[in-house]
Structure 1
């Protein structure tokens, strides 16, 4: 048997012993109540046998023998013969009184029986107390401590064996790998140690010899290419998030189109309203096409983490146009909407991102404003900041977790089974990316969303 095989057998045998000891300790601890019960039962059986042996002996000093038994054990004993009391450790000898005078919960055994010897009948009343739990606990604790000490010794032995037969060879292997990493190929060599784990170092030395002849065919461009791919991947992830937001925004115009189609079906025949609805359909289709163009624009951009260059533009027409596109939804829910804005208010940012903000604000209001309620949007300039305040009536705000309202995929209750929970998240992400801030809070008879953005490029005080 080789040295390598011997150490393997010793290693696995030690592990097996370790597991056996753990299993034994677990079984013992789990069965402590049963062990305690068994000990009480065995003790009771031994005492009963001892009493019966004393009664059956031919000795004339029966009372002394019984007294010795009682003194040596936690018990009470009364033995009566016809017309006399042989022994009693209790103040009374009436068995019925004895049964009531002692608590059965403190006993492990209680019985009254007749023992006959040489024609003499002995009436025996016997009560044996439970063994002291403290003593049983001390015995079990001693066994557990001894087991833990043995386990610790086994662990120490395993650590020493592992360090000697595993860690040291891997340390040598690590040193060779570091040498290989630093291209010190001539210093990479095997070892004369007999451990099987040192064979890795030996194999590494063979690999190094073969690698020396192939290094010239590799170029440092691999590292540059890897870095470039990483940059492109990160850019792709950013673009993907933006595309997902836009696709989410397209859902509202599609819902509007569906609503208008239903209205056209109801207005069958010649009806002046059909002309107006048709115009709205055409407008919404144009808006949907614009959204698709925006998606294509994002996909065509280089993955540099940005969408398009920011520019100075008037936000009021954008808000009015988007508010008009949501008019059928507000009308369907009998929501009165109001816009308070100046004729012109310029903001420096990406127009598409601003459009996303307004679109999500209006979409959120259309979903959650109470039927017959009010939706008010106010836009103004304050301290060189663009401020948007959007209020909508919500009678019951108890279901809204205002601390989580900007969390991804959070949406209120089951108001909209198609809700994605990314609308306000998108608003917050875009606003903060442009050095702005946003908040959502209960206000009057509903809720208020407030968005602040810097008016000029480079401002960070919003």
Structure 2
């Protein structure tokens, strides 16, 4: 905000604070007035009594004939709502009461209607001693109420006027400029840059609108520059998309070409099987080769299916899959590795157990579990895989022997690129992270903890239910 904006803001803010201060002072004064009404009433009464006394004494000091003095006393009692008896040594001068006996006078009027009642002696300037009895009636409650009510109503009217002034000031210096500023911002938001016009700087917000118009001009120029750069970027992106499309087509062709040698290998396996007929060991090796060949062929088919997916479409196609069969197939694939490292492997589970899941994801998950066990199970140890159903979940527990677990940070074992120790140079720190990611993607949970003389990876996956549009086996 520039210097002129700050000066205007200080000016109207100071006026606003002054009005608020006056408003608060008036409220305090009205509250004080209402709270001190009894005190004000007593003060007015005492002043009235003293005023009447002084007028009576002035008449006595002035002297004159008794008739003149009586006439003056009558005027006082009539105008001041009072009763008066004045007696000289010779005779009564004036009495507004039926009697001049002071003893009877004190009992003749009820104290409830009087503010003052008393008698006193007074020596005039000529030396004459007068006896004076005075009774002053209470002020009229109606009169007092009217006075107080008039003051309160006047104060309320003044407070309302101050509020109206404050509202006018706020609207003129805040609401109205903000409305204009809002309109300009909406136009800027909708890219109606030509409609954002500068406004006369009546307030700091109008000056802000003016600065917004300068910003709009600058933004329009930058938009033009961005448009040119976007065109260049779009052209470069199209070129990269063409390169990517060519590479993708090449990958598809290479993967598809892998099927040909695999088919030839199947024919060669059949030919060799006929030649070694009767040799049990050679036949077993050929069967294993044939199984691996079929597995590789299925992996190629899955890869081609993934590559055929359109951009933005779901890759995962869930269906009922027998998890036991997938595990058996995967264990058969790792059997040579188990044999090489002399690892005893066991599978404990029912004959069949179906789960509703993407079969490709399930194969990748089981592959990572068994590969991780093969990598970290001690040579000559054992690997146990137990699978069972618990309520609406399938539980998979993979145990493998591992004497030294001190180097494993079990809280970080699922972190990306985490690897316990440096004994296995082929460890990438990706396997356990991939397991956790795939389990979480299927609304499951996994834990890794020490058990006995080894470690145990537990995976819990929901059985899942087929939904509309899903494929079924």
**TM range, normalised to the smaller chain?**
0.3 to 0.5
Q: TM-score, normalised by structure 2?
A: 0.43
Q: Which has the larger radius of gyration?
A: 2
Q: TM-score, normalised by structure 1?
A: 0.44
